[in-house]
């Protein structure tokens, strides 16, 4: 089933707003539903709801239909936003 990334982003916005200072189960569940991470892994890697939102934004770029060069340009243009998320994900994979 294809993911509607606009709706996904709107849902993340709503959940981030409700999450407070720590990533809650609903927010972690939203991310884990479209990744291979479990809810607990999401909470551990991204305890700050704002980081979860950044992860969602990064995933939307990666999964978009644009070609690879356009994706790279979008990510590079927002490296300050995505840098921490990318580092956490790569550390998890290493």
Which of 84, 75, 76 has its CA nearest to residue 48? 84
Phi, psi of 21 (to 5 degrees): -85, -20
pLDDT higher than threshold 90 for residue 83: yes
Chain mean pLDDT for the chain: 85
Q: What is the pLDDT of residue 20?
A: 65
- Its pTM stands at 0.74
Return the structure tokens found at 67.
Answer: 């070609």
Q: What is the pLDDT of residue 23?
A: 66
pLDDT higher than threshold 90 for residue 13: no
Helix (H, G, I), strand (E, B) or coil at 34: coil
pLDDT higher than threshold 80 for residue 64: yes
CA-only gyration radius of the chain, Å: 13
Contact 30, 90 (CB under 8 A): no
Return the structure tokens found at 62.
Answer: 């990666």
Give the residue carrying structure tokens 């709503």: 14
Give the residue carrying structure tokens 């972690």: 28
């Amino acid at each position: 089933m294809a993911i509607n990334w606009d709706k996904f982003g709107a849902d993340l916005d709503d959940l981030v707003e409700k999450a407070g200072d720590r990533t809650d189960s609903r927010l972690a569940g939203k991310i884990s539903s479209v990744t291979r991470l479990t809810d607990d892994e999401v909470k551990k890697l991204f305890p700050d709801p704002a980081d979860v939102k950044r992860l969602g934004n990064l995933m939307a770029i990666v999964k978009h239909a644009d070609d690879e060069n356009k994706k790279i340009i979008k990510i590079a243009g927002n490296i300050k936003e995505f840098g921490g998320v990318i580092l956490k994900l790569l550390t998890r994979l290493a």
